[in-house]
Structures are given as C-alpha cells and as structure tokens.
Amino acid sequence: MSAATRNRLRISTLWHVDADTAPGTYQQFHHLNDQSSGAPLAVSDVPLSRSTWRIGDRVIVMADFFNIAPGTPNLSVDVGHYTLPDMTRISRSTSSESLVTLGTFSAP
C-alpha cells in the first residue's frame, strides 16, 4: 500500500439519471460521520459534469476520505447533491429526501 492510499476510505456511488434536471453547476456531497458520537469526521465534495447527462445514463462518483484508521467502527456517510452557487440540495426523484445515508459500517 502506498503512502498516498494508506488509511484511505473510498466511497463509490452509482446513480441512474431518470429525469431531466435543471441546468446548472452540481456537486455531490459526502459527509463521513461517527455514529457513536454523532460528530462529523470529514467532508468530500465532488464537482459533477451535469451538462453531459442524459436520461438513462448511469453516473459513478467516487469520494475519498484520508487518515481513517482501519477498523474505525460506527461510521456512516450521508450522500446527496446540491447546486452552486446557491447550495440548494436536490431531492431524489423517488422521495422528498435530499440525501441517502450509507452505514453503519467499520472502516476496512
């Protein structure tokens, strides 16, 4: 394992584009949380190239969190999208929720 990847936690998400979305600048947020304390541990925001999406496309987004000790327990990740510059969260097409929570898990 190289120094660049040591203690790295990578979250990969797969999204299905099932509706047209308004043009604009989009980001995907990833909030790594400690479920034991409720404390946020890290944030990773990824810019998205929304202008290239078409209905039916699948979009893979990867976010990296560094210096997460292997075996760290009780983690979760909140994932969702927002627009820039207004930081408005975008609801999912299947729900009024604007985020998906992944977890609870231990860091590999």
| pLDDT score recorded for residue 17 | 86
Question: How far from each other are the two terminal CA atoms of the chain, in whole angstroms?
Answer: 13
* Mean residue pLDDT across the chain: 86
CA separation for the pair 105, 38 (Å, rounded): 14
**Domain locations in the chain?**
9-100
- Its pTM surpasses 0.85: no
**Pick from 41, 27, 26: nearest CA to 72:** 41
Average pLDDT for residues 17-33, to the nearest whole number?
85
| pLDDT score recorded for residue 2 | 42
**Pick from 86, 6, 21: nearest CA to 57:** 21
